[in-house]
Amino acid sequence: MVAEEGAKKSNCLRCAMRARSIFAGLSGEELCALGMDVIDLEFAGGTTIYREGDSASYAYTLREGAIKLVKSLADGRAQIVRLLHHGDLLGFEGLHREQHQHTAIALSTVKLCRLDLRELDLLSQRLPAVREAIFRRWQRALEEAESRIVDLGTRRAEARLATFLLQWAQAYPQRRSLPFPLTRQDLGEFLGLSTEHVSRIMADFKRRNWLRESRGELEILDPKALGAVSVS
Amino acid sequence: MVAEEGAKKSNCLRCAMRARSIFAGLSGEELCALGMDVIDLEFAGGTTIYREGDSASYAYTLREGAIKLVKSLADGRAQIVRLLHHGDLLGFEGLHREQHQHTAIALSTVKLCRLDLRELDLLSQRLPAVREAIFRRWQRALEEAESRIVDLGTRRAEARLATFLLQWAQAYPQRRSLPFPLTRQDLGEFLGLSTEHVSRIMADFKRRNWLRESRGELEILDPKALGAVSVS
DNA sequence: CGGACAGTTGACATAAATCAAATAGAGTGG
DNA sequence: CCACTCTATTTGATTTATGTCAACTGTCCG
């Protein structure tokens, strides 16, 4: 739960992430000329990166690990609004809003680079490519959100879970065993189900030998079977 | 079901909608200099304005009436992804996507103005104010989508319906009797419920004298009671 | 008057939540 | 290394919410 925070100036030029970042379109020279403070951070799993309602000063690019964006309800329950993987952005709602719209929590150890929102705003006004990149991410987020609305509105628990597992796997291509730092409660809060119900379905999938699971790792043994359930 | 389509050149300068449109920030001169083909259209309720998968050539501003954006499932069911009111935009996903992502259907007689997507794209690159306006609408759409995810994931049928009715009312401020062109099936497809279940709850709300309904009009008699249910 | 069709209502089936208890693991301190 | 604790998970029994099927009603409209 304690923030094991590391911080150092980032070298964007050499960043492995650069091609997939919002600075993808820029030349090396343009990148150097940004004059932006970009700082690399590392947090332990469980760390809260920002809270819903916090005034928004920074946005982040997730370089490694997974993060959940959560909205908390008055009655103590919570809904996971989005799950983020390496390459995803977070905190960008601060470009137009004073405050963060979700609570961001690291699911595993994460590496982030942190961008100052004010600088980013100016930058995006100056550089069409940056603005364009942010815009596109936004659109993709909207499409994913709408697809989750369809999911939640029309599909049953088994199908939602199966769909989710397959999508999770897509975030880690060419890996036979996937990092899987989600608890049953996380799954429930993402899929709109009780933890018990998630547990039953996961146990069922495992009994059918569609999955294998061991401390934070997941292996999908029968994607076809899961695919069949996910459409039903 | 037949498209009663009227079409004429639009006079944006005199448009009552102008202050709320994506051209809100522009001066009269700038507006004149746009050189855009903007065409006013009118469709009867039930008309399909475009279909999911259609190649996207136009975007629209909804000037009057209500529209549903629908995603159809393989099994014949459908999910209403968004409901649009006067002032809302539709078809803008065509700015970055080749094809429309939803089917747009008029719920009542609607008045639209139609914008050519190619021209709009050029325009938005030229005019920061326009781009900004579109961006902000996008962000609001994402926030609404996320709030629906929370709703669908955590709330029961009664609460979802009550919330929805109150939100619908907000789209028609200072009106005691609201236009309400939605069928029980529409409500079901928006809220992720069966038509029968929606019907039961609506009937229940009416029996409690929280609502009154008559051919396409809805009156909310007890917003407080609905509000209480909507949080439960 | 007679169809369509949307809405309502009832009886029943099923999905999922809730409550409660048992089990399994992972970490901790001796 | 073991005993112990704490927590996540699993499982079972039961309740509740919601869906499904079917019949009936009302209304609009030709």
Nucleic acid strand D within 7 Å of B204 CB: no
pLDDT at A6: 57
Q: Between chains, do A81 and B148 touch, taking CB under 8 Å as contact?
A: no
Chain B window 5-44: residues with CB closer than 7 Å to nucleic chain D are: none
pLDDT at B16: 78
On the CB side of B230, CA atoms within 13 Å amount to 17
Q: Which nucleotides of chain D does any protein CB come within 7 A of?
A: 8-13, 17-22, 27-28
Considering all nucleic acid strands, name the nucleotide whose C1' atom is nearest to the C-alpha of residue B197.
D18
On the CB side of A109, CA atoms within 13 Å amount to 4
Q: Between chains, do A149 and B150 touch, taking CB under 8 Å as contact?
A: no
A178/C28 CA-to-C1' distance in Å:
29
Nucleic acid strand D within 7 Å of A201 CB: no
Please indicate, yes or no, if residue B3 is contained in any of the structural domains.
no
Per the CB < 8 A criterion, the answer to whether B36 and B123 are in contact is yes
pLDDT at B184: 97
Q: If you ran DSSP here, which 8-state letter would residue B108 be given?
A: S
pLDDT at A96: 87
Distance CA A229, CA B217 (A): 42
**B17 Cβ contact partners less than 8 Å away, ≥ 6 residues apart:** B61, B63, B86, B87, B113
pLDDT at A72: 96
Q: Which nucleotides of chain C does any protein CB come within 7 A of?
A: 6-11, 15-20, 25-26
A128 with A192, same domain?
Answer: no
B198 with B108, same domain?
Answer: no
CA angle A181, B145, A162 (to 5 degrees): 40
Mean pLDDT of B55-84: 96
**B68 Cβ contact partners less than 8 Å away, ≥ 6 residues apart:** B80, B82, B83, B84, B104, B105, B107, B186, B190
Q: Is B192 on the interface with A (CB under 8 A)?
A: yes
Distance CA A70, CA A105 (A): 8
| Span A195-209, pLDDT tens digits | 999 999 999 999 999
Q: Between chains, do A143 and B71 touch, taking CB under 8 Å as contact?
A: no
Range of the domain at A101: 8-150
Which residues in chain A land under pLDDT 50?
1-4
Q: Is A146 on the interface with B (CB under 8 A)?
A: yes
Tell me the range of A19-33, B82-96, B115-129 where mean pLDDT is highest: B82-96
* pTM of the predicted model as reported, rounded to 2 decimal places: 0.92
Of B131, B150, B169, the residue that ends a domain is B150
Q: Which residues of A touch B191 (CB under 8 A)?
A: 153
Q: Which residue has the tokens 């902000």?
A: B136
**What would the two tokens of residue A82 be?**
């989005």
Please indicate, yes or no, if residue A3 is contained in any of the structural domains.
no
pLDDT at A3: 43
A178 with A112, same domain?
Answer: no
B63 with B175, same domain?
Answer: no
CB burial readout A135-164, b (16+ within 10 A) else e: beebbebbeebbbbbbbbbbbebbbbbbbb
Q: Which residues of A touch B74 (CB under 8 A)?
A: 231
B115 with B223, same domain?
Answer: no
B132 with B186, same domain?
Answer: no
A210 with A119, same domain?
Answer: no
Question: CA-CA distances (angstroms) from residue A91 to A94, A95, A138, B27?
Answer: 6, 8, 12, 33
Single-letter amino acid, residue A219? E
Q: Which residues of B touch A231 (CB under 8 A)?
A: 74
pLDDT at A150: 98
Q: Is A141 on the interface with B (CB under 8 A)?
A: yes
Considering all nucleic acid strands, name the nucleotide whose C1' atom is nearest to the C-alpha of residue B185.
C6
Q: What is the CATH number of the domain that holds B205?
A: 1.10.10.10
Footprint of strand C on the protein (CB under 7 A): A 156-158, 192-194, 196-197, 214-215; B 183-185, 195-196, 199-200, 202-203, 206, 213
Q: What is the CATH number of the domain that holds A70?
A: 2.60.120.10
pLDDT score of B6 more than 60: no
Phi, psi at residue A44, to the nearest 5°? -80, 155
For the beta sheet containing A110-116, the strands, ordered from the edge strand earlier in sequence to the opposite edge, are: A6-9, A38-43, A110-116, A58-64, A89-90
Specify which residues A4 forms β-bridges with.
Answer: none
B131 with B190, same domain?
Answer: no
**Sign for the pseudo-dihedral over CA of B47, B49, B51, B55:** positive
Of A135, A150, A165, the residue that ends a domain is A150
B187 with B142, same domain?
Answer: no
What is the number of domains present in chain A?
2
Q: Is A135 on the interface with B (CB under 8 A)?
A: yes
| Span A174-202, pLDDT tens digits | 888 999 999 999 999 999 999 999 999 99
pLDDT at B5: 53
Q: Which residue has the tokens 């815009």?
A: A135
A38 with A101, same domain?
Answer: yes
Q: If you ran DSSP here, which 8-state letter would residue B94 be given?
A: G
Closest residue of chain B to A231, computed from CA coordinates: B74
Rg of chain B taking only CA atoms, in angstroms: 19
Q: H/E/C letters for each residue in chain A?
A: CCCCCEEEECCHHHCCCHHHCCCCCCCHHHHHHCCCCEEEEEECCCCEEECCCCECCEEEEEEECCEEEEEECCCCCEEEEEEECCCCEECHHHHCCCECCCEEEECCCEEEEEEEHHHHHHHHHHCHHHHHHHHHHHHHHHHHHHHHHHHHHHCCHHHHHHHHHHHHHHCCCCCCEEECCCCHHHHHHHHCCCHHHHHHHHHHHHHCCCEEEECCEEEECCHHHHHHHHHC
Mean pLDDT of B9-31: 76
Nucleic acid strand D within 7 Å of B151 CB: no
DSSP percent split of chain B into helix, strand, coil, nearest 5: 40, 25, 35
Q: If you ran DSSP here, which 8-state letter would residue B99 be given?
A: B
**A148 Cβ contact partners less than 8 Å away, ≥ 6 residues apart:** B149
pLDDT at B3: 43
Residues in chain B: 232
Distance CA A214, CA A180 (A): 9
Among A96, A139, A231, the residue with its CB nearest the CB of B96 is A139
Q: If you ran DSSP here, which 8-state letter would residue B10 be given?
A: -
pLDDT at B174: 84
B177 with B134, same domain?
Answer: no
Question: B102 to chain A, minimum CA–CA distance in Å?
Answer: 10
Cα–Cα nearest to A66, from A80, A45, A91: A45
Tell me the range of A117-126, B49-58, B119-128 where mean pLDDT is highest: B49-58
Distance CA B83, CA B101 (A): 14
Question: B45 to chain A, minimum CA–CA distance in Å?
Answer: 24
